[in-house]
Structure 1
Protein backbone atom coordinates (compact mmCIF):
# COMPACT_ATOMS: atom_id res chain seq x y z
CA UNK A 1 0.00 0.00 0.00
CA UNK A 2 1.23 3.46 -0.90
CA UNK A 3 1.26 6.05 1.93
CA UNK A 4 -0.91 8.37 -0.19
CA UNK A 5 -4.00 8.24 -2.40
CA UNK A 6 -3.82 8.01 -6.18
CA UNK A 7 -5.76 11.28 -6.39
CA UNK A 8 -2.82 12.93 -4.58
CA UNK A 9 -0.59 11.93 -7.49
CA UNK A 10 -2.68 13.47 -10.27
CA UNK A 11 -1.16 17.00 -10.17
CA UNK A 12 2.36 15.53 -10.24
CA UNK A 13 1.43 13.13 -13.05
CA UNK A 14 0.18 16.12 -15.06
CA UNK A 15 3.48 17.95 -14.46
CA UNK A 16 5.46 14.86 -15.51
CA UNK A 17 3.36 14.48 -18.66
CA UNK A 18 3.85 18.10 -19.75
CA UNK A 19 7.56 18.19 -18.92
CA UNK A 20 8.40 14.89 -20.61
CA UNK A 21 6.52 15.70 -23.83
CA UNK A 22 8.51 18.92 -24.20
CA UNK A 23 11.78 17.27 -23.13
CA UNK A 24 11.28 14.43 -25.60
CA UNK A 25 10.77 16.92 -28.40
CA UNK A 26 13.58 19.35 -27.48
CA UNK A 27 16.07 17.09 -25.72
CA UNK A 28 15.94 19.43 -22.70
CA UNK A 29 13.70 21.22 -20.20
CA UNK A 30 12.25 18.34 -18.11
CA UNK A 31 13.92 19.67 -14.99
CA UNK A 32 13.14 23.36 -15.43
CA UNK A 33 9.50 22.76 -16.38
CA UNK A 34 8.92 20.26 -13.56
CA UNK A 35 10.64 22.43 -10.95
CA UNK A 36 8.86 25.59 -12.07
CA UNK A 37 5.41 23.99 -11.84
CA UNK A 38 6.17 22.11 -8.61
CA UNK A 39 7.48 25.19 -6.80
CA UNK A 40 5.33 27.98 -8.26
CA UNK A 41 2.01 26.17 -8.82
CA UNK A 42 1.97 23.25 -6.36
CA UNK A 43 3.94 24.94 -3.57
CA UNK A 44 6.61 22.23 -3.17
CA UNK A 45 9.76 23.44 -1.31
CA UNK A 46 12.67 24.03 -3.74
CA UNK A 47 14.94 21.36 -2.20
CA UNK A 48 12.16 18.74 -2.24
CA UNK A 49 11.22 19.65 -5.82
CA UNK A 50 14.82 19.40 -7.03
CA UNK A 51 15.33 16.10 -5.16
CA UNK A 52 12.22 14.57 -6.74
CA UNK A 53 13.00 15.79 -10.23
CA UNK A 54 16.55 14.46 -10.14
CA UNK A 55 15.52 11.06 -8.81
CA UNK A 56 13.07 10.68 -11.71
CA UNK A 57 15.74 11.86 -14.14
CA UNK A 58 18.04 9.05 -12.97
CA UNK A 59 15.73 6.69 -14.87
CA UNK A 60 15.02 8.86 -17.92
CA UNK A 61 18.62 9.98 -18.46
CA UNK A 62 19.93 6.43 -17.99
CA UNK A 63 17.76 5.16 -20.82
CA UNK A 64 18.61 8.20 -22.92
CA UNK A 65 22.36 7.79 -22.36
CA UNK A 66 22.33 4.12 -23.39
CA UNK A 67 20.35 4.97 -26.50
CA UNK A 68 22.80 7.72 -27.51
CA UNK A 69 25.76 5.39 -26.93
CA UNK A 70 24.21 2.69 -29.12
CA UNK A 71 23.58 5.23 -31.87
CA UNK A 72 27.15 6.62 -31.56
CA UNK A 73 25.93 10.10 -30.67
CA UNK A 74 28.57 10.66 -27.97
CA UNK A 75 31.73 12.72 -28.33
CA UNK A 76 33.82 10.97 -25.65
CA UNK A 77 36.39 13.76 -25.37
CA UNK A 78 33.62 16.27 -24.68
CA UNK A 79 31.94 13.72 -22.35
CA UNK A 80 34.91 13.52 -19.97
CA UNK A 81 35.56 17.25 -20.09
CA UNK A 82 32.00 17.88 -18.89
CA UNK A 83 31.68 14.94 -16.46
CA UNK A 84 33.91 15.87 -13.51
CA UNK A 85 33.12 19.62 -13.32
CA UNK A 86 29.42 18.87 -13.89
CA UNK A 87 29.23 16.35 -11.03
CA UNK A 88 31.23 18.63 -8.71
CA UNK A 89 28.97 21.58 -9.47
CA UNK A 90 25.85 19.44 -9.02
CA UNK A 91 26.87 18.06 -5.62
CA UNK A 92 27.82 21.57 -4.44
CA UNK A 93 24.51 23.03 -5.61
CA UNK A 94 22.48 20.25 -3.97
CA UNK A 95 24.33 20.65 -0.66
CA UNK A 96 23.81 24.42 -0.70
CA UNK A 97 20.10 24.11 -1.48
CA UNK A 98 19.48 21.68 1.41
CA UNK A 99 21.43 23.89 3.82
CA UNK A 100 19.21 26.94 3.37
CA UNK A 101 15.62 27.65 4.39
CA UNK A 102 13.02 27.15 1.63
CA UNK A 103 11.56 30.64 2.10
CA UNK A 104 15.02 32.10 1.50
CA UNK A 105 15.86 30.02 -1.56
CA UNK A 106 12.46 30.16 -3.31
CA UNK A 107 12.80 33.71 -4.78
CA UNK A 108 16.35 33.01 -6.00
CA UNK A 109 15.41 29.65 -7.53
CA UNK A 110 12.40 31.09 -9.32
CA UNK A 111 14.43 34.08 -10.56
CA UNK A 112 16.93 31.63 -12.03
CA UNK A 113 14.17 29.62 -13.70
CA UNK A 114 12.63 32.81 -15.08
CA UNK A 115 16.05 33.68 -16.53
CA UNK A 116 16.22 30.23 -18.15
CA UNK A 117 12.78 30.90 -19.61
CA UNK A 118 13.95 34.18 -21.13
CA UNK A 119 17.09 32.43 -22.41
CA UNK A 120 15.03 29.73 -24.15
CA UNK A 121 12.70 32.38 -25.56
CA UNK A 122 15.63 34.32 -27.04
CA UNK A 123 17.20 31.11 -28.34
CA UNK A 124 13.92 30.16 -29.98
CA UNK A 125 13.64 33.53 -31.71
CA UNK A 126 17.24 33.21 -32.96
CA UNK A 127 16.96 29.52 -33.96
CA UNK A 128 18.84 27.91 -35.66
CA UNK A 129 22.21 28.98 -34.19
CA UNK A 130 25.52 29.14 -36.04
CA UNK A 131 27.23 25.76 -36.24
CA UNK A 132 30.33 23.80 -37.13
CA UNK A 133 32.86 25.36 -34.77
CA UNK A 134 34.84 23.69 -31.98
CA UNK A 135 33.52 24.98 -28.61
CA UNK A 136 36.14 26.67 -26.43
CA UNK A 137 34.37 27.09 -23.07
CA UNK A 138 33.59 23.58 -21.72
CA UNK A 139 34.77 22.87 -18.15
CA UNK A 140 33.45 26.15 -16.65
CA UNK A 141 30.19 25.54 -18.50
CA UNK A 142 29.91 22.04 -16.99
CA UNK A 143 30.62 23.39 -13.50
CA UNK A 144 28.04 26.17 -13.79
CA UNK A 145 25.48 23.90 -15.46
CA UNK A 146 25.79 21.23 -12.76
CA UNK A 147 25.54 23.77 -9.93
CA UNK A 148 22.54 25.58 -11.40
CA UNK A 149 20.83 22.30 -12.28
CA UNK A 150 20.91 21.13 -8.65
CA UNK A 151 20.28 24.49 -6.99
CA UNK A 152 17.50 25.44 -9.41
CA UNK A 153 15.91 22.02 -9.87
CA UNK A 154 16.86 21.85 -13.54
CA UNK A 155 18.76 23.57 -16.29
CA UNK A 156 21.63 21.27 -17.28
CA UNK A 157 20.26 20.87 -20.82
CA UNK A 158 19.20 24.48 -21.43
CA UNK A 159 22.44 25.86 -19.97
CA UNK A 160 25.03 23.40 -21.32
CA UNK A 161 23.49 22.20 -24.59
CA UNK A 162 22.37 25.66 -25.65
CA UNK A 163 25.73 27.26 -24.88
CA UNK A 164 27.68 24.55 -26.71
CA UNK A 165 25.42 24.88 -29.75
CA UNK A 166 25.77 28.66 -29.69
CA UNK A 167 29.56 28.18 -29.64
CA UNK A 168 29.18 26.15 -32.82
CA UNK A 169 29.31 22.53 -31.62
CA UNK A 170 27.86 19.77 -33.84
CA UNK A 171 24.21 19.33 -32.75
CA UNK A 172 23.84 15.50 -32.87
CA UNK A 173 26.90 14.62 -30.78
CA UNK A 174 26.43 17.64 -28.49
CA UNK A 175 22.89 16.62 -27.51
CA UNK A 176 23.91 12.96 -27.14
CA UNK A 177 26.98 13.79 -25.04
CA UNK A 178 25.25 16.28 -22.74
CA UNK A 179 22.32 13.91 -22.18
CA UNK A 180 24.71 11.04 -21.36
CA UNK A 181 26.68 13.10 -18.83
CA UNK A 182 23.35 14.10 -17.26
CA UNK A 183 22.81 10.54 -15.99
CA UNK A 184 25.92 10.69 -13.80
CA UNK A 185 25.01 14.23 -12.76
CA UNK A 186 21.49 13.29 -11.65
CA UNK A 187 22.69 10.20 -9.76
CA UNK A 188 25.26 12.31 -7.87
CA UNK A 189 22.70 15.02 -7.08
CA UNK A 190 20.11 12.45 -5.96
CA UNK A 191 22.60 10.78 -3.60
CA UNK A 192 23.45 14.19 -2.11
CA UNK A 193 19.78 15.00 -1.56
CA UNK A 194 19.17 11.54 -0.10
CA UNK A 195 22.01 11.96 2.41
CA UNK A 196 20.84 15.48 3.32
CA UNK A 197 17.05 15.14 3.32
CA UNK A 198 16.47 11.41 3.78
CA UNK A 199 13.78 9.37 2.05
CA UNK A 200 11.08 11.79 3.22
CA UNK A 201 11.93 14.10 0.30
CA UNK A 202 10.99 11.42 -2.22
CA UNK A 203 7.21 11.22 -1.86
CA UNK A 204 4.16 11.89 -4.06
CA UNK A 205 6.09 14.23 -6.34
CA UNK A 206 8.56 11.52 -7.33
CA UNK A 207 5.95 8.83 -7.98
CA UNK A 208 3.68 11.21 -9.91
CA UNK A 209 6.50 12.64 -12.04
CA UNK A 210 7.73 9.13 -12.82
CA UNK A 211 4.27 7.92 -13.90
CA UNK A 212 3.64 11.02 -16.01
CA UNK A 213 7.10 10.89 -17.57
CA UNK A 214 6.79 7.22 -18.53
CA UNK A 215 3.33 7.73 -20.04
CA UNK A 216 4.47 10.76 -22.06
CA UNK A 217 7.82 9.38 -23.22
CA UNK A 218 6.53 7.85 -26.50
CA UNK A 219 4.82 11.10 -27.51
CA UNK A 220 7.90 13.35 -27.47
CA UNK A 221 9.02 12.23 -30.92
CA UNK A 222 5.51 12.80 -32.27
CA UNK A 223 5.49 16.35 -30.91
CA UNK A 224 8.94 16.96 -32.39
CA UNK A 225 7.69 15.80 -35.78
CA UNK A 226 4.55 17.95 -35.74
CA UNK A 227 5.68 21.14 -33.96
CA UNK A 228 8.72 23.15 -35.18
CA UNK A 229 11.65 23.38 -32.73
CA UNK A 230 11.57 27.17 -32.84
CA UNK A 231 7.91 27.27 -31.84
CA UNK A 232 8.50 24.83 -28.98
CA UNK A 233 11.44 26.83 -27.62
CA UNK A 234 9.42 30.04 -27.72
CA UNK A 235 6.40 28.44 -26.01
CA UNK A 236 8.51 26.85 -23.26
CA UNK A 237 10.34 30.15 -22.74
CA UNK A 238 7.05 32.03 -22.33
CA UNK A 239 5.62 29.46 -19.89
CA UNK A 240 8.76 29.32 -17.72
CA UNK A 241 9.18 33.10 -17.68
CA UNK A 242 5.54 33.76 -16.80
CA UNK A 243 5.16 31.14 -14.06
CA UNK A 244 8.55 31.82 -12.49
CA UNK A 245 8.10 35.60 -12.54
CA UNK A 246 4.71 35.25 -10.86
CA UNK A 247 6.24 33.01 -8.17
CA UNK A 248 9.02 35.57 -7.56
CA UNK A 249 6.38 38.30 -7.21
CA UNK A 250 4.42 36.21 -4.72
CA UNK A 251 7.51 35.43 -2.66
CA UNK A 252 8.63 39.07 -2.52
CA UNK A 253 5.18 40.47 -1.61
CA UNK A 254 4.40 38.13 1.29
Structure 2
Protein backbone atom coordinates (compact mmCIF):
# COMPACT_ATOMS: atom_id res chain seq x y z
CA UNK A 1 0.00 0.00 0.00
CA UNK A 2 2.84 2.37 0.86
CA UNK A 3 4.42 1.73 -2.55
CA UNK A 4 1.16 2.59 -4.32
CA UNK A 5 0.81 5.85 -2.37
CA UNK A 6 4.42 6.73 -3.24
CA UNK A 7 3.77 6.01 -6.93
CA UNK A 8 0.65 8.18 -6.83
CA UNK A 9 2.69 11.05 -5.39
CA UNK A 10 5.36 10.51 -8.02
CA UNK A 11 2.71 10.60 -10.74
CA UNK A 12 1.36 13.84 -9.29
CA UNK A 13 4.78 15.48 -9.01
CA UNK A 14 5.94 14.23 -12.41
CA UNK A 15 2.83 15.58 -14.17
CA UNK A 16 3.11 18.86 -12.29
CA UNK A 17 6.62 19.25 -13.69
CA UNK A 18 5.70 17.93 -17.15
CA UNK A 19 2.69 20.17 -17.55
CA UNK A 20 4.71 23.20 -16.42
CA UNK A 21 7.94 22.46 -18.29
CA UNK A 22 6.77 20.37 -21.26
CA UNK A 23 8.88 17.39 -20.22
CA UNK A 24 9.90 14.92 -17.52
CA UNK A 25 6.76 12.88 -16.66
CA UNK A 26 8.05 9.75 -18.37
CA UNK A 27 11.69 10.33 -17.47
CA UNK A 28 10.91 10.92 -13.80
CA UNK A 29 8.40 8.07 -13.43
CA UNK A 30 10.50 5.53 -15.34
CA UNK A 31 13.60 6.47 -13.37
CA UNK A 32 11.77 5.60 -10.12
CA UNK A 33 10.41 2.33 -11.49
CA UNK A 34 13.90 1.29 -12.61
CA UNK A 35 15.33 2.27 -9.23
CA UNK A 36 13.00 -0.20 -7.46
CA UNK A 37 13.95 -3.00 -9.85
CA UNK A 38 11.21 -3.00 -12.48
CA UNK A 39 11.96 -4.62 -15.84
CA UNK A 40 12.95 -1.90 -18.35
CA UNK A 41 10.30 -2.70 -20.96
CA UNK A 42 7.63 -3.15 -18.29
CA UNK A 43 8.60 0.17 -16.68
CA UNK A 44 8.25 2.02 -19.98
CA UNK A 45 5.00 0.22 -20.78
CA UNK A 46 3.56 1.08 -17.34
CA UNK A 47 4.42 4.75 -17.74
CA UNK A 48 3.06 4.98 -21.28
CA UNK A 49 -0.23 3.34 -20.32
CA UNK A 50 -0.62 5.88 -17.52
CA UNK A 51 0.31 8.65 -19.95
CA UNK A 52 -2.68 7.87 -22.16
CA UNK A 53 -4.84 9.32 -19.39
CA UNK A 54 -2.46 11.99 -18.11
CA UNK A 55 -1.69 13.40 -21.56
CA UNK A 56 -5.41 13.50 -22.40
CA UNK A 57 -6.12 15.39 -19.17
CA UNK A 58 -3.12 17.64 -19.71
CA UNK A 59 -4.10 18.37 -23.31
CA UNK A 60 -7.64 19.30 -22.30
CA UNK A 61 -6.33 21.53 -19.51
CA UNK A 62 -3.88 23.31 -21.81
CA UNK A 63 -6.67 23.71 -24.39
CA UNK A 64 -8.84 25.44 -21.79
CA UNK A 65 -6.01 27.87 -21.04
CA UNK A 66 -5.36 28.43 -24.79
CA UNK A 67 -1.86 26.93 -24.58
CA UNK A 68 -2.03 24.77 -27.75
CA UNK A 69 -1.06 25.30 -31.40
CA UNK A 70 -3.01 22.54 -33.15
CA UNK A 71 -0.97 22.78 -36.37
CA UNK A 72 2.14 21.86 -34.39
CA UNK A 73 0.27 19.00 -32.69
CA UNK A 74 -0.68 17.48 -36.06
CA UNK A 75 2.74 17.91 -37.68
CA UNK A 76 4.73 16.41 -34.81
CA UNK A 77 2.25 14.02 -33.18
CA UNK A 78 1.69 11.58 -36.06
CA UNK A 79 5.42 11.03 -36.83
CA UNK A 80 5.95 10.80 -33.07
CA UNK A 81 3.45 7.95 -32.85
CA UNK A 82 5.29 6.06 -35.60
CA UNK A 83 8.61 6.52 -33.81
CA UNK A 84 7.13 5.46 -30.48
CA UNK A 85 5.73 2.20 -31.87
CA UNK A 86 9.13 1.40 -33.40
CA UNK A 87 10.91 2.25 -30.14
CA UNK A 88 8.58 0.08 -28.05
CA UNK A 89 9.14 -2.87 -30.39
CA UNK A 90 12.91 -2.36 -30.21
CA UNK A 91 13.01 -2.21 -26.40
CA UNK A 92 10.73 -5.24 -26.05
CA UNK A 93 13.26 -7.36 -27.95
CA UNK A 94 16.25 -6.41 -25.75
CA UNK A 95 17.29 -8.71 -22.91
CA UNK A 96 16.51 -7.52 -19.37
CA UNK A 97 20.22 -7.37 -18.46
CA UNK A 98 20.99 -5.14 -21.43
CA UNK A 99 17.82 -3.04 -21.41
CA UNK A 100 18.14 -1.59 -17.88
CA UNK A 101 21.62 -0.02 -18.33
CA UNK A 102 20.74 1.13 -21.86
CA UNK A 103 17.62 2.86 -20.58
CA UNK A 104 19.55 4.45 -17.71
CA UNK A 105 22.11 5.84 -20.17
CA UNK A 106 19.32 7.35 -22.27
CA UNK A 107 17.66 8.83 -19.19
CA UNK A 108 21.00 10.13 -17.88
CA UNK A 109 21.69 11.81 -21.22
CA UNK A 110 18.24 13.40 -21.23
CA UNK A 111 18.69 14.57 -17.64
CA UNK A 112 22.04 16.17 -18.47
CA UNK A 113 20.49 17.85 -21.49
CA UNK A 114 17.64 19.26 -19.40
CA UNK A 115 20.03 20.52 -16.70
CA UNK A 116 22.43 22.19 -19.13
CA UNK A 117 19.77 23.53 -21.48
CA UNK A 118 17.70 25.29 -18.84
CA UNK A 119 20.52 26.29 -16.49
CA UNK A 120 22.80 27.81 -19.12
CA UNK A 121 20.37 29.16 -21.69
CA UNK A 122 16.91 29.54 -20.20
CA UNK A 123 14.15 30.03 -22.79
CA UNK A 124 14.88 31.65 -26.18
CA UNK A 125 12.30 34.18 -27.32
CA UNK A 126 13.45 35.29 -30.78
CA UNK A 127 11.63 34.56 -34.05
CA UNK A 128 8.17 34.67 -32.43
CA UNK A 129 5.37 34.41 -34.97
CA UNK A 130 7.33 32.61 -37.68
CA UNK A 131 5.78 29.29 -38.85
CA UNK A 132 7.20 25.90 -37.88
CA UNK A 133 7.59 23.77 -40.99
CA UNK A 134 6.65 20.13 -41.39
CA UNK A 135 10.14 19.24 -42.67
CA UNK A 136 11.44 20.27 -39.24
CA UNK A 137 8.64 18.87 -37.05
CA UNK A 138 8.20 15.47 -38.75
CA UNK A 139 11.81 14.21 -38.27
CA UNK A 140 11.83 15.72 -34.77
CA UNK A 141 8.64 13.84 -33.89
CA UNK A 142 9.98 10.57 -35.29
CA UNK A 143 13.19 10.84 -33.24
CA UNK A 144 11.47 12.04 -30.08
CA UNK A 145 8.88 9.25 -30.26
CA UNK A 146 11.56 6.57 -30.66
CA UNK A 147 13.63 7.94 -27.76
CA UNK A 148 10.51 8.27 -25.63
CA UNK A 149 9.55 4.61 -25.96
CA UNK A 150 13.07 3.19 -25.60
CA UNK A 151 13.99 5.46 -22.69
CA UNK A 152 10.66 5.42 -20.88
CA UNK A 153 10.56 9.17 -21.48
CA UNK A 154 12.03 11.64 -23.92
CA UNK A 155 9.16 13.12 -25.91
CA UNK A 156 9.38 16.35 -23.95
CA UNK A 157 13.17 16.50 -23.42
CA UNK A 158 13.77 16.06 -27.16
CA UNK A 159 10.76 17.93 -28.58
CA UNK A 160 10.27 20.85 -26.19
CA UNK A 161 13.82 22.33 -26.26
CA UNK A 162 14.05 21.92 -30.05
CA UNK A 163 10.85 23.89 -30.62
CA UNK A 164 11.71 26.39 -27.90
CA UNK A 165 15.11 26.93 -29.53
CA UNK A 166 13.37 28.00 -32.74
CA UNK A 167 11.73 30.80 -30.77
CA UNK A 168 8.78 30.80 -33.19
CA UNK A 169 5.88 30.24 -30.82
CA UNK A 170 5.43 31.35 -27.18
CA UNK A 171 6.85 28.95 -24.54
CA UNK A 172 3.42 28.23 -23.04
CA UNK A 173 2.15 27.10 -26.48
CA UNK A 174 5.25 24.95 -27.00
CA UNK A 175 4.58 23.18 -23.71
CA UNK A 176 0.84 22.83 -24.34
CA UNK A 177 1.36 21.51 -27.89
CA UNK A 178 3.99 18.98 -26.80
CA UNK A 179 1.76 17.73 -23.98
CA UNK A 180 -1.27 17.43 -26.27
CA UNK A 181 0.61 15.59 -29.04
CA UNK A 182 2.08 13.17 -26.49
CA UNK A 183 -1.36 11.55 -26.26
CA UNK A 184 -0.78 10.00 -29.71
CA UNK A 185 2.72 8.93 -28.72
CA UNK A 186 1.50 7.25 -25.53
CA UNK A 187 -1.14 5.25 -27.41
CA UNK A 188 1.32 4.09 -30.10
CA UNK A 189 3.99 3.12 -27.54
CA UNK A 190 1.45 1.19 -25.44
CA UNK A 191 0.29 -0.76 -28.49
CA UNK A 192 3.92 -1.52 -29.33
CA UNK A 193 4.60 -2.86 -25.83
CA UNK A 194 1.47 -5.02 -25.83
CA UNK A 195 2.64 -6.53 -29.12
CA UNK A 196 6.20 -6.97 -27.83
CA UNK A 197 5.84 -8.14 -24.22
CA UNK A 198 2.12 -8.70 -23.71
CA UNK A 199 0.36 -7.61 -20.52
CA UNK A 200 1.68 -10.19 -18.03
CA UNK A 201 4.67 -8.05 -16.98
CA UNK A 202 2.62 -4.90 -16.41
CA UNK A 203 1.20 -4.08 -12.96
CA UNK A 204 -2.07 -2.31 -13.72
CA UNK A 205 -2.39 -1.12 -10.11
CA UNK A 206 0.80 0.87 -10.67
CA UNK A 207 -0.63 2.19 -13.93
CA UNK A 208 -3.77 3.31 -12.10
CA UNK A 209 -2.04 5.21 -9.29
CA UNK A 210 0.37 6.93 -11.69
CA UNK A 211 -2.64 7.89 -13.79
CA UNK A 212 -4.65 9.24 -10.85
CA UNK A 213 -1.75 11.32 -9.59
CA UNK A 214 -1.10 12.72 -13.04
CA UNK A 215 -4.74 13.54 -13.78
CA UNK A 216 -5.06 15.47 -10.51
CA UNK A 217 -1.90 17.48 -11.30
CA UNK A 218 -2.73 18.23 -14.97
CA UNK A 219 -5.03 21.26 -14.54
CA UNK A 220 -2.77 22.71 -11.85
CA UNK A 221 0.24 22.42 -14.16
CA UNK A 222 -1.60 24.03 -17.07
CA UNK A 223 -2.25 27.04 -14.83
CA UNK A 224 1.28 27.07 -13.39
CA UNK A 225 2.90 27.20 -16.84
CA UNK A 226 1.88 30.85 -16.99
CA UNK A 227 3.58 31.64 -13.66
CA UNK A 228 6.38 29.23 -12.72
CA UNK A 229 10.00 29.97 -13.81
CA UNK A 230 10.87 27.14 -16.26
CA UNK A 231 14.59 27.85 -15.95
CA UNK A 232 14.67 27.00 -12.25
CA UNK A 233 12.35 24.00 -12.59
CA UNK A 234 14.48 22.61 -15.43
CA UNK A 235 17.61 22.75 -13.28
CA UNK A 236 15.87 21.02 -10.37
CA UNK A 237 14.43 18.20 -12.49
CA UNK A 238 17.57 17.67 -14.59
CA UNK A 239 19.75 17.19 -11.51
CA UNK A 240 17.32 14.74 -9.94
CA UNK A 241 17.23 12.61 -13.10
CA UNK A 242 21.04 12.60 -13.36
CA UNK A 243 21.55 11.60 -9.72
CA UNK A 244 19.03 8.75 -9.84
CA UNK A 245 20.29 7.22 -13.08
CA UNK A 246 23.96 7.52 -12.13
CA UNK A 247 23.01 5.50 -9.06
CA UNK A 248 21.41 2.83 -11.27
CA UNK A 249 24.45 2.64 -13.57
CA UNK A 250 27.02 2.52 -10.75
CA UNK A 251 25.15 -0.42 -9.21
CA UNK A 252 24.69 -2.25 -12.52
CA UNK A 253 26.76 -5.25 -13.65
CA UNK A 254 28.36 -3.03 -16.28
CA UNK A 255 30.19 -0.93 -13.67
CA UNK A 256 29.61 -2.47 -10.21
CA UNK A 257 31.32 0.47 -8.49
CA UNK A 258 32.53 0.24 -4.90
CA UNK A 259 30.66 2.02 -2.13
CA UNK A 260 33.38 4.65 -1.87
CA UNK A 261 33.21 5.46 -5.60
CA UNK A 262 29.43 5.71 -5.39
CA UNK A 263 29.58 8.10 -2.43
CA UNK A 264 32.14 10.38 -4.10
CA UNK A 265 30.08 10.39 -7.30
CA UNK A 266 26.87 11.33 -5.47
CA UNK A 267 28.58 14.16 -3.60
CA UNK A 268 30.12 15.54 -6.81
CA UNK A 269 26.76 15.44 -8.60
CA UNK A 270 24.99 17.07 -5.63
CA UNK A 271 27.50 19.94 -5.61
CA UNK A 272 27.14 20.52 -9.36
CA UNK A 273 23.36 20.26 -9.08
CA UNK A 274 23.19 22.78 -6.23
CA UNK A 275 25.44 25.17 -8.17
CA UNK A 276 23.20 24.88 -11.23
CA UNK A 277 20.06 25.67 -9.22
CA UNK A 278 21.70 28.67 -7.54
CA UNK A 279 22.89 29.95 -10.92
CA UNK A 280 19.41 29.52 -12.43
CA UNK A 281 17.80 31.44 -9.56
CA UNK A 282 20.35 34.24 -9.91
CA UNK A 283 19.92 34.49 -13.68
CA UNK A 284 16.15 34.43 -13.37
CA UNK A 285 16.21 37.28 -10.87
CA UNK A 286 18.61 39.25 -13.04
CA UNK A 287 16.39 38.77 -16.10
CA UNK A 288 13.33 39.90 -14.12
CA UNK A 289 15.20 42.95 -12.87
CA UNK A 290 16.27 43.81 -16.43
CA UNK A 291 12.70 43.43 -17.66
CA UNK A 292 11.47 45.71 -14.87
CA UNK A 293 14.04 48.39 -15.73
CA UNK A 294 13.15 48.16 -19.42
CA UNK A 295 9.44 48.44 -18.59
CA UNK A 296 10.06 51.54 -16.46
CA UNK A 297 12.19 53.14 -19.19
CA UNK A 298 9.53 52.37 -21.77
CA UNK A 299 6.84 53.94 -19.59
CA UNK A 300 8.96 57.06 -19.00
CA UNK A 301 9.56 57.41 -22.72
CA UNK A 302 5.84 57.07 -23.39
CA UNK A 303 4.98 59.73 -20.83
CA UNK A 304 7.68 62.04 -22.16
CA UNK A 305 6.31 61.68 -25.69
CA UNK A 306 2.79 62.45 -24.45
CA UNK A 307 4.02 65.55 -22.59
CA UNK A 308 5.79 66.78 -25.72
CA UNK A 309 2.60 66.38 -27.74
CA UNK A 310 0.58 68.20 -25.06
CA UNK A 311 3.02 71.14 -24.86
CA UNK A 312 3.13 71.43 -28.67
Structure 1 portions without partners, runs of 5+: 1-5
1:35 to 17, 25, 30: 30
TM-score normalised per structure 1 = 0.87
Deviates more, 1:155-164 or 1:187-196: 187-196
Q: 1:109 to 1:174 in 2, by over 3 A?
A: same
Name the structure 1 match of 2:282: none
Deviates more, 1:194-203 or 1:163-172: 194-203
Name the structure 1 match of 2:40: 46
Q: 1:97 to 1:27 in 2, by over 3 A?
A: same
Q: Residues of 2 paired with 1:185 and 1:21: CA distance?
A: 19
Name the structure 2 match of 1:20: 15
Deviates more, 1:169-178 or 1:181-190: 169-178
Q: 1:173 to 1:8 in 2, by over 3 A?
A: closer
Name the structure 1 match of 2:100: 106
Q: Residues of 1 paired with 2:3 and 2:201: CA distance?
A: 16
TM superposition shift of 1:216: 3.9
- CA RMSD across the alignment: 2.3
Q: Residues of 2 paired with 1:128 and 1:100: CA distance?
A: 37
Q: Residues of 1 paired with 2:178 and 2:219: CA distance?
A: 21
- In the TM superposition, 1:170-249 aligns within 5 A as 170=169, 171-203=171-203, 204-217=205-218, 219-220=220-221, 228-249=229-250
Q: 1:218 to 1:120 in 2, by over 3 A?
A: same
Larger radius of gyration: 2
Contact kept in structure 2, 1:49 and 1:205, CA below 8 Å: no
Q: Residues of 1 paired with 2:155 and 2:20: CA distance?
A: 16
Contact kept in structure 2, 1:134 and 1:168, CA below 8 Å: no
Q: Residues of 1 paired with 2:222 and 2:206: CA distance?
A: 25
Contact kept in structure 1, 2:65 and 2:223, CA below 8 Å: no
TM superposition shift of 1:196: 2.4
Contact kept in structure 2, 1:93 and 1:146, CA below 8 Å: yes
Structure 2 portions without partners, runs of 5+: 257-312
TM-score normalised per structure 2 = 0.72
TM superposition shift of 1:155: 1.1
Name the structure 1 match of 2:146: 147
TM superposition shift of 1:190: 1.0
